[in-house]
């Protein structure tokens, strides 16, 4: 057990008076000094010393439960197929796939000729590229249309500034370094002699797209598009599925604008599809001489329209918006428009011919998550689909649209054994305090008694319109097999029940997200899944903000709180427009600099600003020193204020990854080590197991 009485004194962060005023309101921030003035470089000795003390304290506190961490790690690793690989998929003359070597932390990317001649050839070996680095993350990997070259990018610090290189696949040697500040997709021109890429500025904003012709000096690369109108917008790249156009997109969280560049002429003037209009979003694909546009211009759940590239802003409705059907994406193939949508919160895939004939793919369960998988070719006889449920491991299907049949290509292997018949799943609709019903997905091992005594793990995200899918987790079996129930709350702020479900949890309606989570927990208690104090909760990033809010508002409900890279210093971050994400976040949270009402709203829930003198449950907080999304000082300041104000003796642990970013440590084994630590913390907090 983690017994604070047997630990050394916890770290103490000095309080240095700091106060500011805005809109006539006064704010105290006595831990502002934890933000290194030289950020993104962190060299302040006092800051580094404090973070080191917290990490030392974390290790001391976790020492008694290391045997459980090791056990959980062994269980999770035992469920991981060490030599796992993907199902090969054809792209032109080649079949491509990835594979892990036994014991490897990273993938190797392979290909072989589709006609069967020759053996497999390495495209990129991540493990080899990661050698000598404490952190490694592959970004883009794109093979040229002629199959001779690969454009690839990687991040070796966690700061999400990727270095883009061009590799000769015949020799395996990199022949050019294009840029060291790339982020996002890389797209080849049709002639295999040029690539388009996007770069970040000093504030980690993806502000421009550039075109590089092989052999030219990268310093002279042409700017294809640069975002100059709005610092809250970020530039991104893509490609239409027929590969006729390179997509130059720019957007914030609620408004988008797209330009199209002919793939065979990167020097051409980009074609503006339609000028940006506040709160209007649209995406574009291309097939058979038409543009296919998905937009929310006249319905919150989007409509599908077509347009002539000669007049790209004139949109003709193909599928009208609907209160009951939420259109989420469209991919144009040679024979079908494949539409990913959601009906009553359930994923659906609709196929529509260009003559207007439609049908939906029939899936085998009543609750699941499904979506298009890897489908690089425009003209393909079948469609690859990914599928899972709370009890069904990740499954790869190929769907035959003529026979309307699903062929299983792969089911995730659980080497240590998995019997789906031992587990049960439910989808509940639990009441929120305003009368709405919150979907909650629950899984448990059969025999779990709904008598209020069992431990419950509850997870949610609830922001940016991201619907946390009710999918499979092999790691989660370590809780289920110890008698836990595990639940996902599909709260407002995500788009689980349509785009309106997202809008009802953002900006001025943000409190709905927090209330939904607490109300879902109370509903699960009423249903017998747990009792107050017998619920362990976890969330990351914006989900970590959620953890911080409900720890302040409903501390008695929780037996443990795990907040990963939590966005908890919301009020201060949203007033610092020098930070990478702040201007682009104003549509999501509100702008407290210019709007007094937004200031008051954020101040009412910002976890750091609302820590109070009360008892808090056991808490584990994580962060990353190189994280450009949620800066390290957010979890550090929050932990410091919690230590100073909380009235309980429960453990409060802060772990800062000193060589990693937003996603934690890289490598598949490092990832499950951190998962094992979180699970061990929760298990011990709720009484062992």
pLDDT digits (tens, 9 = 90+) for 358-395: 999 999 998 899 999 999 999 999 999 999 999 999 99
pLDDT per residue as tens digits for the range 437-496: 999 999 999 999 999 999 999 999 999 999 999 999 999 999 999 999 999 999 999 999
pLDDT per residue as tens digits for the range 158-194: 888 999 999 999 999 999 999 999 999 999 999 999 9
Residue whose pair of structure tokens reads 């600099």 in the numeric block: 593
Beta bridge partners of 274: 258
Tell me what percent of the residues of the chain surpass a pLDDT of 70: 98
Boundaries of every domain in the chain = 1-81+564-578+604-689, 133-280, 282-412
Same topology, domains 133-280 and 282-412? Answer is yes
Beta bridge partners of 20: 27
Q: Give long-range contacts, CB 8 A cutoff, 24+ apart: 55-58.
A: 55/654, 55/655, 55/656, 55/658, 57/7, 57/8, 57/10, 57/11, 57/653, 57/654, 58/653, 58/654, 58/655
Which of helix, strand or coil describes residue 155?
A: strand
Distances (CA, A) of 186 to 153, 226, 284: 9, 16, 18
Beta strand 383-388 pairing with 369-372: antiparallel
* 261 class by beta-carbon count within 10 Å (0-12 exposed, 13-18 middle, 19+ buried): buried
Beta bridge partners of 348: 341
- What residues contact 444, with CB distance under 8 A and at least 6 apart? 423, 424, 425, 454, 480, 484, 485, 486, 529
pLDDT per residue as tens digits for the range 109-149: 999 999 999 899 999 999 999 999 988 999 999 999 999 99
CATH topology of domain 1-81+564-578+604-689: Rossmann fold (3.40.50)
Q: What is the largest CA-CA distance in the chain?
A: 74
Concatenated DSSP letters of 182-215? E-S--EE-TTSSEEEEEEE-TTS-EEEEEEEETT
Kind and range of the H or E element at 162? strand 162-168
Under DSSP, the state recorded for 322 is -
Residue whose pair of structure tokens reads 């427009």 in the numeric block: 577
Class of the CATH domain delimited by 133-280:
mainly beta
Catalytic residue positions, numbered: 541, 627, 662
Contact 360, 342 (CB under 8 A): no
pLDDT per residue as tens digits for the range 554-611: 999 999 999 999 999 999 999 998 887 788 899 999 999 999 999 999 999 999 999 9
Residue 662 has pLDDT above 80, yes or no: no
Other Cβ atoms within 10 Å of 196 Cβ, number: 27
Class of the CATH domain delimited by 282-412:
mainly beta
Degrees to nearest 5, angle at CA 563 with 560 and 565: 165
């Amino acid at each position: 057990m983690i017994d604070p009485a047997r630990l050394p004194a916890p770290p103490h962060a000095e309080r240095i008076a700091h106060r500011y005023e805005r809109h006539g309101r006064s704010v105290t921030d006595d831990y502002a000094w934890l933000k290194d003035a030289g950020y993104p470089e962190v060299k302040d000795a006092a800051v580094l010393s404090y973070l080191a003390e917290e990490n030392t304290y974390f290790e001391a506190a976790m020492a008694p439960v290391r045997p459980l961490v090791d056990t959980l790690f062994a269980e999770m690793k035992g469920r991981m197929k060490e030599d796992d690989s993907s199902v090969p998929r054809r792209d032109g003359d080649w079949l491509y796939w990835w594979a892990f070597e036994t014991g490897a932390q990273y993938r190797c990317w392979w290909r072989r000729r589709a006609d069967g001649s020759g053996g497999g050839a390495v495209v990129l070996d991540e493990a080899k590229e990661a050698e000598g680095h404490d952190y490694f993350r592959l970004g883009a990997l794109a093979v040229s249309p002629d199959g001779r070259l690969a454009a690839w990018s990687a991040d070796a610090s966690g700061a999400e500034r990727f270095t883009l290189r061009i590799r000769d696949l015949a020799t395996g040697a990199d022949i050019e370094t294009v840029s060291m500040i790339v982020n996002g997709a890389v797209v080849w021109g049709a002639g295999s002699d040029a690539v388009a890429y996007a770069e970040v500025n000093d504030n980690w904003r993806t502000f421009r797209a550039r075109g590089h012709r092989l052999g030219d000096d990268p310093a002279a690369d042409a700017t294809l598009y640069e975002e100059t109108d709005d610092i809250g917008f970020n530039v991104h790249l893509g490609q239409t599925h027929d590969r006729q156009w390179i997509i130059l997109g720019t957007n914030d969280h609620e408004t988008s604008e797209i330009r199209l560049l002919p793939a065979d002429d990167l020097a051409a003037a980009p074609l503006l599809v339609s000028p940006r209009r506040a709160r209007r979003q649209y995406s574009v694909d291309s097939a058979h001489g038409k543009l296919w546009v998905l937009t929310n211009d006249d319905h919150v759940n989007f409509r599908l329209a077509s347009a002539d590239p000669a007049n790209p802003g004139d949109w003709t409705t193909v599928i009208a918006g609907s209160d009951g059907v939420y259109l989420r994406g469209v991919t144009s193939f040679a024979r079908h428009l494949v539409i990913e949508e959601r009906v009553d919160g359930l994923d659906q895939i609709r196929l529509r011919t260009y003559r207007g004939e439609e049908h939906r793919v029939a899936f085998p369960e009543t609750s699941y998550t499904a979506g298009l998988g890897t489908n690089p070719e425009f003209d393909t006889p079948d469609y690859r689909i990914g599928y899972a449920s709370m009890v069904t491991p990740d499954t790869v299907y190929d769907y035959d649209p003529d026979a309307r049949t699903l062929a299983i290509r792969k089911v995730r292997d659980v080497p240590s054994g998995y019997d789906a018949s031992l587990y049960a799943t439910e989808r509940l609709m639990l009441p929120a305090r305003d009368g709405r019903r919150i979907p909650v997905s629950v899984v448990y091992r059969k025999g779990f008694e709904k008598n209020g005594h069992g431990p419950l793990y509850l997870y949610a995200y609830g922001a940016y319109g991201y619907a946390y899918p009710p999918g499979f987790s092999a790691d989660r079996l370590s809780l289920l097999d110890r008698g836990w129930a595990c639940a996902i709350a599909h709260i407002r702020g995500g788009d689980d029940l349509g785009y309106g479900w997202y809008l009802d949890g953002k900006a001025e309606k943000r409190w709905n997200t927090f209330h939904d989570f607490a109300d879902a927990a109370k509903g699960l208690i009423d249903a017998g899944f747990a009792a107050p104090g017998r619920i362990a909760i976890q969330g990351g990033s914006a989900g970590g903000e959620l953890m911080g809010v409900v720890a302040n508002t409903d501390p008695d409900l929780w037996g443990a709180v795990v907040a990963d890279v939590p966005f908890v210093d919301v009020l201060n971050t949203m007033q610092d427009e020098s930070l990478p994400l702040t201007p682009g976040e104003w549509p999501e949270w509100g702008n407290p600099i210019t709007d007094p009402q937004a200031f008051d709203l954020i101040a009412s829930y910002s976890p750091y600003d609302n820590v109070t003198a009360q008892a808090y449950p056991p808490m584990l907080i994580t962060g990353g020193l190189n994280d450009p999304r949620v800066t390290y000082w957010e979890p550090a300041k929050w932990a410091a204020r919690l230590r100073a104000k909380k009235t309980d003796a429960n453990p409060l642990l802060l772990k800062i990854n000193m060589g990693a970013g937003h996603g934690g440590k890289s490598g598949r084994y490092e990832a499950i080590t951190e998962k094992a630590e979180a699970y061990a913390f929760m298990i011990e907090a709720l009484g062992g197991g």
